[in-house]
């Protein structure tokens, strides 16, 4: 059983999909960059069958899916979005919860677990944990790129003749199965007056970040004090992350499953549901 969920936090409407009604484990699922809550549909359905008393909130992060865009003065730095996650947990009266993150959402999950270990019972990272590390000497050039990006005039949004055409555009950016792309696109577009479709996500999400973490800082993020699991997609980003962080297995239970970066939507759904189900039950 799934229902649409929304609330107002910091003046923004945040939307999501709420699975289950039990009193067991509470799980907040955080999607990747330019994805949305629909990316967890298949996994949440499997997981609520394996852990029947659990509740899962798959959140549309600000600027994604059905959630509002941030105001003109706002930005999408990863740590700013953590306030939205905590705000949603407070609104649901979830004093403690598990975090399940994919890609950028996995980075957020690991950060929040480290920042508020008294509230996070455990964290599961799906084929994501760190962004490209930035050397300290790049601090000011990175800030300059951010300032220049925000001063440029935004181009008109691209229009697609059909959802299938929009899904093809997503696949060209990040390889995934057509049915998975279509699921994300259906929740991540709006229909225009002429019948065409445009992305509903905030285009400012593609602008430069004001600050990026160094390798030393990412190593701190990758040492949560709560139980943690990292599930790598064999044809995704996971193998490269494991090369950058060879010490990861000292802090995470590490598993590898077949599939590309969006493996949690298709070929690895059953395997991930099994691993996550055992993780939250134990």
What single DSSP character describes residue 71? P
What pLDDT, on the 0 to 100 scale, is given for residue 61? 98
State the Cα–Cα distance between residues 233 and 14, nearest whole angstrom.
29
What pLDDT, on the 0 to 100 scale, is given for residue 192? 95
List, for residues 112-141, the tens digit of each pLDDT value.
999 999 999 999 999 999 998 899 899 999
Please state, for a pLDDT cut of 90, what percent of the chain lies above it. 86
Write down the domain spans for the chain: 2-143+210-281
CATH superfamily, domain at 2-143+210-281: Alpha/Beta hydrolase fold, catalytic domain (3.40.50.1820)
What pLDDT, on the 0 to 100 scale, is given for residue 175? 86
List, for residues 21-66, the tens digit of each pLDDT value.
889 999 999 999 999 999 999 999 999 999 999 999 999 999 999 9
Give the pTM: 0.96
Question: Beta strand pairing status for 26-30 and 12-19?
Answer: unpaired
pLDDT at 216 over 90: yes
In 3D space, the residue among 80, 76, 102, 111 whose CA is nearest the CA of residue 209 turns out to be: 76
The region that residue 165 occupies, defined by phi over 0 for left and psi between -120 and 50 for alpha, beta otherwise, is alpha
pLDDT at 75 over 90: no
Q: How far is CA 196 from the centre of its chain?
A: 27
Residue 156 confidence class, pLDDT cut points 50, 70, 90? confident
């Amino acid at each position: 059983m799934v229902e649409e969920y929304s609330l107002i936090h910091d003046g923004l409407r945040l939307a999501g999909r709420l699975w289950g009604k039990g009193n067991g484990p509470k799980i907040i699922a955080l999607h990747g960059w330019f994805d949305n809550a629909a990316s967890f549909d298949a996994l949440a359905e499997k997981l609520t069958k394996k852990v029947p008393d659990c509740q899962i909130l798959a959140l549309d992060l600000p600027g994604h899916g059905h959630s509002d865009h941030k105001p003109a003065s706002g930005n999408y730095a990863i740590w700013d979005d953590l306030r939205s996650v905590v705000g949603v947990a407070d609104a649901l009266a979830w004093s403690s919860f598990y975090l399940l993150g994919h890609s950028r959402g996995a980075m957020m999950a690991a950060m929040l677990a480290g920042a508020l270990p008294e509230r996070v019972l455990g964290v599961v990272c799906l084929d994501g944990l760190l962004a490209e590390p930035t050397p300290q000497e790049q601090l000011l050039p990175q800030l300059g790129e951010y300032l220049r990006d925000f001063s440029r005039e935004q181009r008109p949004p691209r229009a697609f003749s059909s959802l299938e055409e929009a899904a093809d555009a997503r696949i060209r950016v990040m390889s995934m199965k057509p049915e998975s792309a279509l699921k994300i696109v259906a929740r991540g577009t709006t229909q225009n007056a002429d019948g065409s479709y445009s992305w509903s996500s905030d285009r400012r999400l593609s602008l430069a970040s004001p600050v990026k973490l160094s390798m030393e800082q990412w190593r701190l993020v990758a040492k949560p004090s709560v139980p943690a699991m990292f599930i790598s997609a064999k044809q995704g980003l996971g193998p490269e992350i494991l090369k950058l962080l060879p010490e990861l297995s000292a802090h995470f239970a590490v598993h590898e499953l077949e599939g590309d970066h969006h493996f949690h939507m298709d070929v690895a759904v059953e395997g991930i549901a099994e691993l996550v189900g055992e993780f939250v039950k134990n």
